[in-house]
Chain A
Amino acid sequence: MREQNKKTSVFSLLYRLTALELLRNKLGLILLFVIPTCFLAVVEWTSGKGFLSIKLFFFKRTEELLIDQREISLVFMSAAVGGFLMSYYAILLFQQDFEYYRYCISMRLSPITFVTSRFCFFFTLVAAMATFITLIMRGMMDFPKIPAALLGFILLGTIYGAYGGIVGIVSKDFMVAILFVVLLANIDAGWLQNPVFYSTSQETEFIRWLPAFFPCQFIFSSVFSGKTNLWALLMSLAYASVLFAALFLAISIKIKGVYHGNNNQA
């Protein structure tokens, strides 16, 4: 029982310290407010009042809808912002000060406790970010399926967060990691998943296999058509699981040596 209490205390301490680390990252905090404000303000400022035809991809069928240009831009930009921010925070979680935690593992911090606490915080962050973005979006437009949109943002955050985490683990240089995140987030969530772009694209096959496609389709379907796109949901879950497993593998490889060093201690 005493041992159990100690385990809980190291876990909760690590969880709390992770939260403090992020809160003390001033740039991270500024970006959390500046990026959504800038992007959504530009949408408000520049969107036309006309309606545009967009396509939604369901399993073996495509639906075409006429949607207000402002609403398309709002939802698309929210998805892009959510994806980028989550991958940025994942880099902070899994790249910066990772050596410190390897050192802690060499001091016999349980790798399981460390990984569990990081992942728990990761999912808390994904959920908080998704809620934040859904609430902003809800404040700017009306849509029926709020929980489904929230789930879509959670899936998008998990996929992009896992991607950011992997990039952070693999890359030693923070700027290189940021560059990789910006590159994919820009091409994928920030450009090719724009319904206005992909609806008239000549080559949708490539776009369909990018990581943001399925969660974006799930979000767009929930917000614009009020339908639950089950195919997009299942595929998003598959993408999230694969990327999350890859993140877990990358962390395990990174801490493996130190953990084996501990095995030589008695």
Chain B
Amino acid sequence: MANPTTASWRRWHAMNNELRLHCHDVKKSFGRLDVLRGCSFELKESEFVGLVGENGSGKSTLVRCVLGFTQPDSGTVKIKGPVGYCPQENILNRRLRVSEHLKLAEAIYSKYNSINHDFKEKNIDRLRLRPFLKTSIGNLSSGTYQKVKFLTSIYHSPKLIILDEPYDGFDWRMYLVFWEIIQDLKSQGAAIMMISHLIYDRERFDQIFELKEGHLERTK
């Protein structure tokens, strides 16, 4: 992966005011299996992009390459501004309480950007997480666990949000609240990329990319 120098980085910034994510020709293989065969896409301010594909098509691998969890074999990824990431995996520390996890997230995020406390508190209430703040993460139901993961990814009002099947386990009401929050973030200028399998979400996306045999195809 390219490691941009300060000068080229500044140039890229200056030239791409609205661009939040630039991903060019990303390739990744696991042994003989070519999962990503050169994926390129861009995400601009207030843009909402869906990433679809069959199980095992490499959607999560692409997201992990973008975020650096997985090192791509080749290609360039450039990200502008703070990122929020809601992973598919149950990655949270089960031995911490929700409040402790959020406190750590806040401490980390506040080093790089200011936290909007009203927005944060509002989302805790919207997601109905306040009664669970003192609960151990290991004791949460799957839906509430998912809400904590989602809240973590938007806690700092990031400019780029990557969501990997974020509403898995949400009840119908919470599913609607989720879309309200997404609309709010979008109106604040956040670029959002979401992996989704639900066909009835199609209309909500500005663009949809399908990952097929290692290549990205724009289907909307």
A109→B87 CA distance, assembly (Å): 17
Decide if B32 is an interface residue (CB 8 Å cutoff): no
- Among B94, B100, B108, B111, the residue within 8 A (CB) of A20 is B100
A56→B93 CA distance, assembly (Å): 46
Q: C-beta contact mask, A119-145 vs B, less than 8 Å → 1, else 0?
A: 000000000000000000000000000
- A264 and B1 contact, Cβ closer than 8 Å, known pairs A20-B96, A100-B93: yes
**A97 engages B108 (CB within 8 Å):** no
A99→B152 CA distance, assembly (Å): 15
**A266 engages B67 (CB within 8 Å):** no
Residues of B within 8 A of A100 (CB): 91-93
**Count the B residues whose beta carbon is within 8 Å of the partner chain — how many?**
39
A264→B4 CA distance, assembly (Å): 7
**A266 engages B9 (CB within 8 Å):** yes
**B3 engages A263 (CB within 8 Å):** yes
Residues of B within 8 A of A251 (CB): none
**B9 engages A106 (CB within 8 Å):** no
**A261 engages B81 (CB within 8 Å):** no
Residues 226-266 of A contacting B (Cβ, < 8 Å) = 257-266
**A102 engages B108 (CB within 8 Å):** no
- A17 and B96 contact, Cβ closer than 8 Å, known pairs A106-B68, A106-B69, A258-B68: yes
Residues 190-206 of B contacting A (Cβ, < 8 Å) = none
**B83 engages A104 (CB within 8 Å):** no
Residues of A within 8 A of B126 (CB): none
Shortest beta-carbon distance from A184 to chain B in Å: 26
Shortest beta-carbon distance from A254 to chain B in Å: 11
Decide if B13 is an interface residue (CB 8 Å cutoff): yes
**B93 engages A257 (CB within 8 Å):** no
Decide if A173 is an interface residue (CB 8 Å cutoff): no
**A262 engages B95 (CB within 8 Å):** no
Decide if A61 is an interface residue (CB 8 Å cutoff): no
Shortest beta-carbon distance from B155 to chain A in Å: 9
Residues of A within 8 A of B186 (CB): none
A20→B138 CA distance, assembly (Å): 14
- Among B1, B81, B108, B110, the residue within 8 A (CB) of A266 is B81
Residues of A within 8 A of B136 (CB): 24
Residues 110-167 of B contacting A (Cβ, < 8 Å) = 110-112, 136, 152
A7→B112 CA distance, assembly (Å): 11
| Stretch from A8-16, A43-51, A79-87 contacting the other chain | A8-16
Shortest beta-carbon distance from B19 to chain A in Å: 11
Residues of A within 8 A of B9 (CB): 266
Residues of A within 8 A of B67 (CB): 106, 258, 261
- Among A7, A97, A264, the residue within 8 A (CB) of B93 is A97
- A261 and B68 contact, Cβ closer than 8 Å, known pairs A6-B110, A107-B109: yes
Decide if A103 is an interface residue (CB 8 Å cutoff): yes
- A265 and B69 contact, Cβ closer than 8 Å, known pairs A10-B107, A103-B91, A260-B1: no
- A10 and B108 contact, Cβ closer than 8 Å, known pairs A257-B70, A266-B80: yes
Which are the 10 A-B pairs with shortest beta-carbon distances?
A: A261-B68, A100-B93, A97-B93, A265-B79, A21-B95, A109-B108, A10-B107, A24-B95, A257-B71, A103-B91
7 new A-B contacts at CB < 8 Å, known A7-B111, A21-B93, A263-B68? A99-B91, A103-B85, A104-B108, A108-B109, A258-B68, A264-B1, A265-B83
